[in-house]
Amino acid sequence: MGVGSKIKLNSIDSLFGSSESVTEVMLSELHEFKEHPFKVFDDDAMEQLIESIKESGILVPATVRPLASGGYEIISGHRRAHAAEKAGLTKIPVVIREMTDDEATIAMVDSNLQREELLPSERAFAYKMKYDALKATSKLGRPKKDEAATGRTSEKAEEELGTSKATIMRYISLTSLSRELLELVDDKKIKLNAALELTSLDSSAQDVLYRAIEETETMPTPAQAKDIKSAAADETLTIEVAKYILTAAKLEKTKFSGTFKIKKEVQKSIPEDFTQEQLDDIANKLLADFFADPKNYELPF
């Protein structure tokens, strides 16, 4: 029997009333779903799955569809395929189904949205993929009916995804964030409410913000995110302004006492008869000028 040959098995799905048969396919013939939004991690859960496969094999077959270029695209079963390879298997049981691109997208999303924990980015791209597929299959995309098509698609998505249209569209908006910012959202470093405020930023503004985050090691709160969005809308967002917005929160958290060290080279320039009150007045005046218009100053941090 050749390397690429398939072994027909008794149908596992028949246990659930399905007439579809199960076939074994070489792992080398399987391809990930194009732009698959769900991540496969080598974590504890994966180790448990690998051990389960070693002991009992794959109990639930993957679902795939044939590709015109050869081989099969995985619709559901990415984790099982990965675990099978780690377990040393060369082939896995699958159900082969003929599907259009949009049907495959909807089936892929539906099979993965049942997972208990999803990263914000996974949910965002999954919602977008299903929303776009539903819109394409609705056949309502005629130029004069775009608004109606969008409305009906939103209602259909709300029904099928089991959540509100507002929630769906909020998550979809996250797909406009850069990969770097979205990773910070997935890592729970940027809160979801703050991330939603940042989705209106163009790519250059997002780059500026990410540089500021790296240099200050500070994440924007929802309030800071609004300030950053406003600065970007006013075309005044620079790296200095972004850093000021982020570090202003740090100053507030540390409850700045008003005392600071004066460098030796500066102390040499202070007249001997200067009082502490006079120094405080000058420091407050300079700080007031700086925070009133920080972009005119070169920040030392």
d(CA 112, CA 203): 29
C-alpha–C-alpha distance, residues 279 and 91, integer Å? 78
What is the C-alpha separation between 204 and 80, in angstroms, rounded?
39
CA proximity to 73, closest of 110, 112, 49, 100: 100
Closest by CA to 77, choosing from 102, 111, 53, is 111
Share of the chain above pLDDT 70, in %: 80
Amino acid identity for residue 285 in this structure: K
- C-alpha 282/C-alpha 217 separation (Å) is 30
Closest by CA position to 95, among listed 29, 23, 27: 23
Reference 88, options 64, 53, 61; nearest CA is 53
User: Quick one: CA torsion of 65, 66, 70, 74, rounded to 10 degrees?
Assistant: 10
Q: Which CATH architecture has domain 7-98?
A: Alpha-Beta Complex (3.90)
Whether pLDDT at 183 is above 70:
yes
Instruction: Determine the angle formed by the axes of helices 120-138 and 179-186, rounding to 10 degrees.
Output: 120
Other Cβ atoms closer than 10 A to 82: 19
Q: Tell me: the pLDDT tens digits for 111-124?
A: 888 776 889 999 99
- The better pLDDT of the pair 70, 154 is held by 70
Amino acid at 46: M
- pTM given for the model: 0.68
Q: Considering only CA atoms, which of 160, 166, 170 is closest in space to residue 133?
A: 160
Q: Tens digits of per-residue pLDDT, 80-136?
A: 999 999 999 999 999 999 999 999 999 999 988 877 688 999 999 999 999 999 888
Structure tokens at 161: 């995804």
DSSP 163: S
Confidence of residue 295 (pLDDT cuts 50, 70, 90): low
Tell me: the pLDDT tens digits for 211-248?
999 999 999 999 999 999 999 998 999 999 999 999 87
Q: How many residues does the chain have?
A: 301
Which residues, in sequence order, are CB contacts of 170 under 8 Å at separation 6+? 196
Annotated domain spans of the chain: 7-98, 100-176, 259-296
pLDDT at residue number 138? 67
Query: Nearest to residue 169, comparing CAs of 123, 209, 133?
Result: 123
